[in-house]
């Protein structure tokens, strides 16, 4: 075969026609009427970021989009071969996809548990989700809910979701050592990880769960990276017992949390034994009070909260103009650790680079 783009011709079967594709293309639109995309047709074309596949395509060969970049986005019709291929091969896709978000923020007004950060956190997250994502999220914001209120809000917000949709729930508030989200009602009712899972299991499609709360890592299996402060006993607050606990935790068997499931993408602000902090965060002399983790998450995805302005995609480590789940987690984790060295985020699934909700 003659050498062509990416080392070979791109072969599309359209009445037996051959179509060469530019090596510099970042978006490929497969012509209407195409029925087959051959195996390895676009393999190793790393510049491609988006492929539009018409409903006429009924067959896509194995590895057709192998090594096309971590943030490859497939645009296809709902129920089409393109959508099925994307799901099967863990490629980010839009197929009649609706993006919905529920933001829950808990300030616990008039109590000894009052928080300042969540009110700012929800504003920053709302702006990000409406303005910086692949497709703008339809965002609903709910504040100071009890456990039953959170369950009802989830059911109501995502009632219309289907298998091709993306549903995101963000929580900023208190959490306890058992992984419960603490309600802002008079009784401080608890929403357990299992109850949260039951509520979310009723929602079809891909689900993103972002939790800025103490001990939130209890929701998922902890990854293998060392915890902040582990094997260190240099500060006054690091008692010998804390050192021993950290050492033991580092080598304890992993346990699976309630949200360890295939359709979930979860980022938590802290590990299951850690507290999540809030306070003044600074950007070039501009300051604002918010959760350290949420500040880092929004900054990484392109929103500078203290300056109230759009910024670069700081979490985009590989320069593909998209922020994957892994990149968002990594950047937010590092920023939070700058402010609180004993707070390190957790993520599920580990090393997920193909699902990139934030793009430029």
pLDDT tens for 288-319 read: 999 999 999 999 999 999 999 999 999 999 99
**Which of 32-36, 47-51, 214-218 has the weakest average pLDDT?**
47-51
- Average pLDDT over every residue of 322-329: 96
pTM of the model: 0.85
**103, 138 Cβ separation under 8 angstroms:** no
Helix 292-300 with 117-131: angle, nearest 10 deg? 20
> Per-residue pLDDT tens for 137-162?
999 999 999 999 999 999 999 999 99
Of 175 and 20, the structure prediction assigns the larger pLDDT to 175
**160, 172 Cβ separation under 8 angstroms:** no
What is the domain partition of the chain in residue ranges?
1-94, 99-278+342-359
Please check the confidence at residue 6 and state whether its pLDDT lies above 60: no
Give the pair of three-digit tokens for residue 211: 């939790």
Which residue in 76, 138, 146 sits closest to 103, CA to CA?
A: 138
Residues in the chain: 360
Give the pair of three-digit tokens for residue 11: 């072969």
Please check the confidence at residue 228 and state whether its pLDDT lies above 60: no
The percentage of residues in the chain with a pLDDT greater than 70, rounded to a whole number, is: 83
Instruction: Determine the CATH number of domain 99-278+342-359.
Output: 3.40.50.1460
> Per-residue pLDDT tens for 83-135?
999 999 999 999 999 999 999 999 999 999 999 999 999 999 999 999 998 89
**Which of 49-58, 59-68, 175-184, 217-226 has the weakest average pLDDT?**
217-226
pLDDT of residue 272: 93
> Per-residue pLDDT tens for 242-296?
444 444 444 444 457 999 999 999 999 999 999 999 999 999 999 999 999 999 9
The verdict on whether omega for the bond into residue 236 sits within 30 degrees of 0, i.e. cis, is: no
Please check the confidence at residue 357 and state whether its pLDDT lies above 80: yes
pLDDT of residue 144: 98
pLDDT of residue 24: 53
Which residue in 269, 275, 305, 273 sits closest to 287, CA to CA?
A: 305
pLDDT of residue 226: 42
Residue 58 neighbours by CB distance under 10 Å: 12
């Amino acid at each position: 075969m003659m050498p062509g783009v990416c080392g070979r011709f791109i072969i599309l079967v359209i009445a037996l026609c051959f179509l060469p594709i530019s090596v510099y293309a970042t978006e490929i639109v497969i012509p209407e009427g195409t029925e087959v995309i051959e195996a390895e047709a676009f393999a190793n074309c790393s510049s491609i970021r988006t492929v539009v596949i018409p409903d006429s395509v009924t067959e896509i060969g194995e590895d057709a989009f192998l090594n096309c970049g971590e943030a490859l986005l497939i645009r296809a019709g709902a129920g089409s071969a393109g959508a099925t291929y994307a799901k099967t091969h863990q490629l980010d896709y839009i197929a009649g996809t609706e993006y919905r978000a529920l933001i829950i923020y808990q300030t616990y007004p008039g109590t000894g548990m009052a928080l300042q950060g969540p009110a700012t956190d929800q504003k920053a997250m709302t702006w990000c989700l409406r303005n910086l994502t692949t497709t703008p999220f339809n965002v609903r914001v709910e504040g100071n809910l009890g456990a039953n209120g959170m369950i009802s809000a989830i059911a109501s917000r995502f009632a219309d979701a289907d298998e091709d949709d993306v549903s995101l729930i963000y929580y900023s508030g208190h959490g306890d050592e058992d992984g419960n989200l603490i309600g802002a009602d008079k009784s401080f009712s608890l929403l357990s990880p299992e109850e949260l899972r039951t509520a979310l299991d009723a929602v079809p499609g891909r689900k993103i769960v972002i939790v800025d709360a103490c001990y939130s890592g209890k929701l998922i299996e902890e990854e293998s990276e060392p915890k902040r402060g582990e094997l260190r006993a240099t500060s006054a607050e690091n008692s010998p017992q804390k050192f021993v606990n950290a050492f033991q935790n580092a080598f304890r068997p992993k346990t699976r949390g309630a949200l360890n499931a295939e359709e979930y993408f979860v980022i938590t602000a802290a590990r299951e034994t850690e507290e999540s902090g809030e306070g003044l965060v600074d950007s070039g002399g501009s300051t604002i009070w918010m959760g350290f983790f949420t500040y880092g998450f929004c900054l990484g995805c392109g929103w500078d909260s203290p300056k109230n302005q759009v910024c670069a995609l700081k979490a985009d480590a590989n320069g593909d103009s998209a922020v994957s789940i892994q990149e968002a987690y990594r950047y937010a984790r590092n920023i939070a650790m700058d402010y609180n060295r004993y707070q390190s985020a957790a993520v599920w699934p580990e090393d997920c680079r193909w699902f990139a909700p934030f793009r430029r």
